[in-house]
Every structure is written in C-alpha cells, then in structure tokens.
Chains A and B, each alone.
Chain A
Amino acid sequence: MKDKVIHRLLFFFLGIPMVLLAVAFQAVRNINRSVATSDWVNHTHSVILEAEALRTALYVSDAMMRTYAQSGDARDLAACREALANALDHLDIDKALTRHEPAQHDQIIQIESLVSPRVEFAQALLKARQTGDTEKVHTLLNGDAGSTASHDIQRGIDTLKDEELTLLTERDTASYLQAQTTRWTVWTGVVLDGLLLGGVAWLIRDDLSARRRVAAALQEANDQLETRVRERTAELVAANAQLSSENLERQWANQALEHQLRYNHLIVDSITDLVLVLTKALNISRVNPAVIHLTGLDPAALINQPLTRILRLVTAPDETGGPMRDPLAQALRDGRDLRGQAGVVEDKRGRQIPVHVSMFPLRDRDKIVGGVVTLQVVPPGTGPKA
C-alpha cells in the first residue's frame, strides 16, 4: 500500500514538471508564431506606408515639376529631382517588400508601369525647361492636361492599400488568435498543475489518514494486549497464591501425617506385645522392638523373612483327618481376624517361647494387602507346651 502511494506521488511529482515543460514549450512556440505574425502585421504596415510615401513623393514631384516649369528656379529643380528619387526609392522598397506576395507584387509592377512614363515625362519637361525650350514645355504640359496617368497611379496605390488592409485584418486576427492560444495554453497548464498538486495533497492527506487509522488500531491492540496481560498476571498471581496456600496446607498435612506416623510407630514400639507386619504372602515387613528384644534377632534378619522363621502355631489335629491347614494364611485369605491362637516363638538361641497369636488383616479400601500379627508372651506354666 505504501509503495503504491509512493508510486502515485512520484507520478504526480513527475507530471507537474512535465506539464510545466509542455506549457513552456508550447508557450514559447506560440510566442515565436506570434512574433512571426506580428512581423507580418508590421510588414503590411510598412508596405502601406511605403505606398503612401510613394503617393506623396509623386504629388510633390508633380507640384515641383510644374513650379519649376513656371519659375525655372534651381531649388525647385532640385526639389523635384529629390521627390522623383524618393518616389523611385519607395517604389523599389515596395517591390522588395512584396517580393513573396505575388498579387501585391503584380499590383506594384502595375503601378511601376504607370510611374515610369510619369517620371520620363517629368524628366523630359525638366530637360526642356533647363534648355529654355518653353514651347516644348507648354506642349508637354498641354499634352498632360487631360491625362489620367496620375489618377491611374492613385487608383493603383488605393487598390494596393485596400489589399494590404485586408491582409492586415487577417494577420491581426492571426496574431490575436496566437495570443489567445498562448493564454489558453498557459492557463490550461496552470489548471493541470493545480489539479496535479491537488492530487498530491489528496494522496498525502489520504496516506496520513490511513497512517492515523493504523496507529489507532495498533494502539487499541496494544491496549487490549496490556489488558489481557494484566488479567493474566492477576490470574497467575491468584493461582500462585492458591498454590502457596495449598503447598502450606499440604506441608501441614504432611507434617501431621509424619507426626501421626511417628506417633503410631511410637505406640507400636511402646507396646510390650510383639507386633509383626506381614505381607499378603506372610513375609515379615516390619517388627517392633519387642520382637527384637524377645527373639534377639536383628531387624535385618527378620525383614522379608517368612513369619514361620520365628513363629509356629500350635494347632489341634484335623478331626476330619485331612491335611493340616495354616490358620493364619486361611484367615488372611478370608479377611477375618484370628484371635488367641497358641503359638511358639523361637528366639536366636533356639529357645521356644509360648505366645498367644492374633492376626488382623490390613485393608486398603476393600482389598487385603497384608496383615498385622500380635504375639503375647504366655506367662510360664500357663501356656501350651511346644
């Protein structure tokens, strides 16, 4: 998106100087054309001015010629010659000016064809007057009396002037249109550049708005994230507190359990009766100090040993005559207590000590996992004989 905006901005920024260059190029071209058209307008004025100067020079020469014919004064002669020279000069200039305009040039040639006899007439008259040939002077003047030559020249000049004025109108219109075209070109360029600048401003404004929206969205997302972090932190703190509390409770429970266990051990160890804890297979798993004291055996010599290692039950023969069964194993399997069974414990030195045997099954939930056997030493003379 950002690249697209930059590309558009580059397009606009390149467009502006290109429009400027195009306008400058077009304007300069129009100005050059306008100058050329203006030259043609000036040229037309010049042709008209020269034609008018020719007319004036011819008038002056004619007047001075007639004056000289009357006066014979050298100054009038000089003035007449100068006027004639001027007329020819203006004629030549007009011929040169209309060199590339055939219609006007033809008109000038036509005027020249009328002027030349007039000049020749003037020169002839001047010559006659200079030589004092007054008769010839009169003849010439009389012959010229009804001549339309001067009028024809004037008409020719008027025609040329009318044509030039028509051309002047056309050339002035062209000049005006060139100026109008230049104005339109410049203003079109200004408007186009204005539009391009407006486009640039709009793009920048749009981009800034988009950036503001993105920044706002980012800010909102950050705020949400911070809120969630705060909530999660609070949850973690609460969970941590709960865990700490639970840990403490568990620690207390463990301590209570340890205390209870120790107390139980203390109770068991304090009992003068012999207490043996059995596995389900009737192996010894634990004994109290009374057992060690009575048997003289180390705990290591007793643990994991079968109960029969130190205890033998004294049982009556089976009345049915069947094989004798182990009452302890039977009671454990059945899950019932066995109380007051007679038995004999054999100590380390092989001495037979009569005891009363009781067995209690150990249950973990509903399952029998072992049993506890208590042995009560029978006072001497009261117990069964081994």
Chain B
Amino acid sequence: MLALACIVGVAALDALTMSDLLGDPNMTPKRFANLFEDFNFDDHPFVEVQPPDEFLATKSGDCIDYAVLADYVLKQKGYGTRLIRIEMVGKNFNHAVCYVTQSRAYLDYNNRVYFFNLQRSGPSIREMATKVADSFNANWTFAQEFTFDYDTMAKHVFITIVKTDPPEEDPDLATRPPQP
C-alpha cells in the first residue's frame, strides 16, 4: 500500500498541472494536444467529467475530460472554443471534441498519439459530427454543442443537431455568422 502511494506520488511529481497549462505563454491547440500523447484512455459514464487535476495527475481519462479541459485552457488563452458531443448508433456510444475556431480544427482525444492531432473541419456541427462518426466507422444520430463549468461540474446543452433534419435548418447555422 505504501509502495503504491509512493508510485502515485512519484507519478504526480512529474505530472502536468492546471497551473502548468495556464502558465504556458506559448500554449496553442497543437501544443496542448502534444502534452497528452502519453495519456491513457479510461472509459467512464459520459455525464461524469473528471476534475482537471485528477485527470492530469492520473494521466487517464476519456474524450470528454480532454475536450472540456482543452475548452477551459484554450479559452483562457484567448482561443474561441466550442464543445461538441456526437451521439452515434448504439448504447452509450458517443464522443466529445473541442473545436478551435482560429485553427478551424477540433481536438480529439483519440488523435492525441498522432503527429497530426488536430482534425481540420468546418465550423458546422453537422460537419464535425460526420467526421467524428466516420473516424469510428459509425452513423451518428444527433450532436450537441454544450458548455461545461468546472465549478458546478454542470453541463449545459444549448444546440442539438439531428442528422435526419434538413441540413439547411440546422440551428447552429442560424446562430453563427456566415464564414468567408
């Protein structure tokens, strides 16, 4: 037991912290993604988001932990970010990504080990949902844009896109200014 605690303690010593992330003056989406190369995947219920320090200390989490943390850190660095959740066919088969407006790309926890860890995409939720579902070789049914607050640990959904709806009637198109 003592040995395990020591190991966790040693691991925690060289682990990233929220302060490291927020204090990095050169933080970019690409740099952020590179920091998570050696993180492990740990599946837990989607509704539960790990506190950031726990996620960073254990180096273990899932897509929503990563997306919410990216949203939080990059927003602090002045980036325009959006949290997108894509629901695919099957029980609890969903995925979350963090879209960075300036990069016209989203950060995906599944891409953290690749050199190209930013997936380019247009700003529409439908386009992101299609790309994410393609990466899983699956069909999506609906996708949501949401926000997450670490203080209350509460998720707030404000846009839902349904795949079978006419694309031109997607709610996110009405709320977003036209792209050049």
Contact = CB atoms under 8 A, between A and B. Distances in A.
Interface of A: 36, 38-40, 42-43, 45-46, 49, 82, 85-86, 89, 92-93, 96-97, 99-100
Contact of B164 (A85, A92, A93, A100): A100
B27 to A, nearest CB: 32
Given A38-B139, A39-B139, A46-B141, A89 B162 contact: no
Interface string B137-180: 00101101000000000100100101111100000000000000
B87 interface: yes
Give the secondary structure class of A's interface. helix
Contacts of A42: 89, 139, 141, 163
Listed from nearest, the 6 A-B pairs whose CB atoms lie closest are A96-B160, A46-B141, A43-B164, A42-B89, A42-B141, A39-B164
A145 B7 CA distance: 55
A92 B47 contact: no
Contact of A45 (B47, B89, B157, B166): B89
Nearest to B47: A86
Contact of B157 (A38, A40, A92, A97): A92
Contacts of B141: 39, 42-43, 45-46, 97
B142 A40 contact: no
B142 A46 contact: yes
A37 B156 CA distance: 31
B75 to A, nearest CB: 23
Contacts of B157: 89, 92
B94 to A, nearest CB: 11
A46 B87 contact: yes
A253 B139 CA distance: 120
Interface of B: 47, 87, 89, 91, 139, 141-142, 144, 154, 157, 160, 162-166
A96 B89 contact: no
7 contacts: A39-B164, A42-B139, A43-B164, A46-B142, A49-B91, A92-B160, A93-B160
B162 A97 contact: yes
A273 B87 CA distance: 157
Given A45-B89, A86-B47, A89-B157, A99 B162 contact: yes
Nearest to A46: B141
Nearest to B146: A89
Given A86-B47, A89-B157, A92-B160, A100 B139 contact: no
Contacts of B160: 92-93, 96-97
A96 B163 contact: no
B164 A96 contact: no
Interface centre among A36, A86, A96 (most CB of B within 10 A): A96
Contacts of B162: 43, 96-97, 99-100
Contacts of B89: 42, 45-46
A46 B166 CA distance: 17
A92 B89 CA distance: 18
A96 B142 contact: yes
Contact of B165 (A86, A89, A99): A99
Contacts of B144: 93
A126 to B, nearest CB: 16
Contacts of A86: 47
A139 B13 CA distance: 55
Contacts of A89: 157
Given A42-B89, A86-B47, A100 B165 contact: yes
Given A89-B157, A93-B142, A96-B142, A40 B47 contact: no
Contacts of A46: 87, 89, 141-142
A191 to B, nearest CB: 32
A45 B88 CA distance: 11
A49 B91 CA distance: 8
A152 B28 CA distance: 52
Given A40-B164, A43-B163, A45-B89, A97 B139 contact: no
Given A39-B163, A92-B157, 17 more contacts: A36-B164, A38-B139, A39-B164, A40-B164, A43-B162, A43-B163, A43-B164, A46-B87, A46-B89, A46-B142, A92-B160, A93-B144, A93-B160, A97-B142, A97-B160, A99-B162, A100-B165
